[in-house]
Structure formats: structure tokens, C-alpha cells
Structure 1
Amino acid sequence: MDLQISLFLLFFLFTAGHSLSCYTCTSQTCTQKIQCPYGLTNCFSAEFNVYVAPFTVRGCAPSVCSSGSINLGIGRGSSLCCNTDLCNDQKPPDPSTNALNGKKCYSCDGNTCSNTVSCSGSEDRCITATATIGVQPQVLKGCVSKSLCDATKLIPGVESASCCEGNLCNGVSSVTQSFLFLCCSLLFFILLH
């Protein structure tokens, strides 16, 4: 009986007492380690290149952590998720080395959202998002991996996001087509009456 209790306690301590260790930082050199709080079961590593200045973030993440890449025209980013101790010691894959996949999406440059960007690698969706950057909300458009599109609800500052699958599907053409269809329907109705 004592052996059974001892084995139960030993098993309990090994399963309940171990938390994941991850590197944490917001710079290029990441050497600080942390024990992840309860509920954070993954490590992540993300790198963003906006206007040529790279920015790295590493830390603990929830179970819905996603790996993938995003291309907004004005900047690119990628993320890598893993679930073993200190597994986020490496940079995520560089999305600029991926081959173009033939998909194109609209992107914004601050003044207009009529620019286009070529998607690469796993970027199989177009995204339109509204995010608060500083104090002002901005519209962001570009290419994104499905896995990152599904996780946009978890990104701080993102107020809304939608993804679509067709070429240039995140542009204003769908609104123009709907308006054109409405006008044609109205004209047809007037001509028949």
C-alpha cells in the first residue's frame, strides 16, 4: 500500500510540477529564460522586418500558438511555435527566402491600399485587418498563412481581421462589383416598368 501511494505521489509531482521553460526577449540576443505560467503550454519565436529594421520577440504562448508568415508590403514577419523546454532558441524561418506561390494580395502604404504584394511560401490567404498602432487605428492588408490568420484574435491591438482565399480578394473590387450589380438590377427594373 505504501508503495502505491509513493508511486502515485511521484507520478503526480512529475506531471503537475513541471512547467515549460522558454527564452524570453524583445531584442536580437535572447538569453533570458523563464518558467511559463499555468496555461501557457508553448514557446514561440517571432521576427518582424518593418522598414528593414528587424525586431525579435520570444516567450511563452497559449496552446493555440501558430507558426507561419505574413507580408504586408511595408514589412514581413514570421513565427515559430514549439512545445519543449527552450525550443524557441532559434529564429523562425525567413519568409523572404520562400519561393513565390503565385498569389497576390492588396497592401497598404499608409496613404492608399491599392498596392499589390506577391505572396510566398505558406502565405495562402489575403488579410484585411484594423489595428491600433500608437493612438491611431490603421488598415493593414497583405498576404498571410492560414495558421496566422486563424490566430489574429490573440494579437494585441488587432480590432478586426478577415481573411480570404482568392487572388486580390482583399481589395475594394468586391464592393464595386456589388454596387455595379445593384445599379444593373435597378436599371433593369426601371426599363421593365
Structure 2
Amino acid sequence: MKLLVTIALTCALFSKAYPLDCFECAATGTGPCLQTTRTCQASQTKCTSYTTAVTLVGIQTTTKVKSCTTPDQCFSGSVNSGISMTTVNTQCCESNRCNDQEPPALPESSTNGKKCFTCAASGDCTSTLECKGSEDRCFTFTAPAIGKTKGCTSQSFCSAPIPQLEVIGNLNCCEGNLCNNALHIGQTILFLLLVPLASFFLFN
């Protein structure tokens, strides 16, 4: 019995030494995601398949991606500034080429009773926004070059490290209605919040 346990543990450790192989592809809109196979880095212990949907002034653009990833990037949720919204639906798995499915974009959700401050294009951040679905946090995104953007977001966006977002600014989240206080600030470009998020999900 002891020998069998030793062999099983040895096999488990030996299998961990091999890097993971995952499908890799990226496609925007309704086009097919033409996948190839990629050997992951040692830190990338999961395969991922996710769909990002960006809605801006009523027009939605979806992006489908398959790749290798780290466990902290396996999250789903949304970030909503009122004028624009980004949703991410992610599926992760741990075996070779297991990411052969394409998750659908998250469906449109109804309001959940939570409210956060939001900013108009003029820079006025005194308006309020009704949060939707899993958006259980208020956020303030501050970038030196563009000022501040405010709105609702899911807790998963607050806790997951997003390097491309961190490069240009700082994302702060809080709990409680209207906790992202309504200070009047200078020029705000809401659309720029979506650029690093989309690039992160596309090129990770």
C-alpha cells in the first residue's frame, strides 16, 4: 500500500513538470476563432476561453479569445460607466487543450438596487447610475492624463490584477451606495477606460 501511494505521488509531481498546452485564438464580431495550439509558460496553469462584450452608445462589439492564463485571471463580471459597459464571461480549465468551448457574452442584466456616481463627458460627476447584475461595487478610475471616470463594477474586476489598466491609471473600488463620491473634476474621457480592458483580454 505504501508503495502504491509513493508511486501515485511521484506520478503527480512528475506530471506537474510538463507545461500545459492550450488552444489559442482571437476573433472579433461573428467571425470564427481559428485556433492553434500554444505551450503555456510555467506560471500559466490554466487554459481559458472568454468572451468580452463592449457596448458604447448602444453599439456592442464582442471579442472571443482562447489562450493560456494564470488562475487570478479566471473571472467574469462587468464594468459600467453609464455611457459604456464592458462584460467578460470566462471559462477556465486545467487539462491539455480543454478550452475548446466558446462561452457566450454575458446576457443583459436588470438593475440590482445599488447606485453609484457616474461622470458625464463634461466632467460633471454628480449624476447617479443604477448598477446591474453582479455590479456590487462602485469604482473611480483615475488617470493623470484624462481625469476621473466613475461607475459600477463587479467585485471580480476590483480584485483581479489588470496590468494594462494599471499602466495608465489607478482603479479604486468601494462598497455601499454612492460610495465613489461626486466630486466635480476636469475633462473625462470615458471611452479610454475600455481601451486597456479590451487590450488586456485580447492580448493576454
Pairwise same-fold verdict (TM > 0.5): yes
Q: Does 1:74 align with 2:83?
A: yes
Moved more, 10-19 or 141-150: 10-19
2:49 touches 2:102 (CA, 8 Å); kept in 1? no
Specify every segment of 5 or more residues in structure 2 that has no aligned partner in the other structure, as ranges.
184-204
Distance 1:39 1:156, change over 3 A: same
Specify the alignment match of 1:48 in structure 2. 53
**Residue identity in the other structure for 2:83:** I
| Larger relative helix fraction | 1
**Residue identity in the other structure for 1:61:** T
Equivalent position SS for 1:156: helix
Separation (CA, whole Å) in 2 of partners of 1:31 and 1:143: 34
**Residue identity in the other structure for 2:53:** F
Specify the alignment match of 1:128 in structure 2. 140
Alpha-carbon distance, 1:8 to partner? 8.4
**Residue identity in the other structure for 1:147:** S
Distance 1:109 1:26, change over 3 A: farther
Equivalent position SS for 2:72: coil
Specify the alignment match of 2:118 in structure 1. 107
Separation (CA, whole Å) in 2 of partners of 1:111 and 1:57: 33
**Residue identity in the other structure for 1:47:** T
Alpha-carbon distance, 1:126 to partner? 0.4
Q: Does 1:36 align with 2:48?
A: no
Q: Which protein has greater RCO, CA pairs closer than 8 Å, 6+ apart?
A: 2
Specify the alignment match of 2:156 in structure 1. 147
The TM-score with structure 2 as length reference comes to: 0.66
Alpha-carbon distance, 1:116 to partner? 2.5
Alpha-carbon distance, 1:53 to partner? 3.6
Specify the alignment match of 2:196 in structure 1. none
Alpha-carbon distance, 1:145 to partner? 0.9
Alpha-carbon distance, 1:88 to partner? 5.4
Separation (CA, whole Å) in 2 of partners of 1:8 and 1:124: 42
Alpha-carbon distance, 1:14 to partner? 3.3
Distance 1:99 1:8, change over 3 A: closer
> Residues 151-184 of structure 1, C-alpha deviation per residue, up to 9 Å, x if partnerless?
2x424033211111111211226xxxxxxxxxxx
Q: State the superposition RMSD in angstroms.
A: 3.0
1:141 touches 1:170 (CA, 8 Å); kept in 2? yes
1:45 touches 1:88 (CA, 8 Å); kept in 2? no
Specify every segment of 5 or more residues in structure 1 that has no aligned partner in the other structure, as ranges.
174-193
Percent identity, aligned pairs only, is: 29
Specify the structure having the higher radius of gyration (Cα). Answer: 1
2:19 touches 2:41 (CA, 8 Å); kept in 1? no
Equivalent position SS for 1:157: helix
Separation (CA, whole Å) in 2 of partners of 1:172 and 1:8: 57
Alpha-carbon distance, 1:125 to partner? 0.4
Separation (CA, whole Å) in 2 of partners of 1:88 and 1:15: 24
Match of 1:170 among 180, 188, 204: 180
Equivalent position SS for 2:33: coil
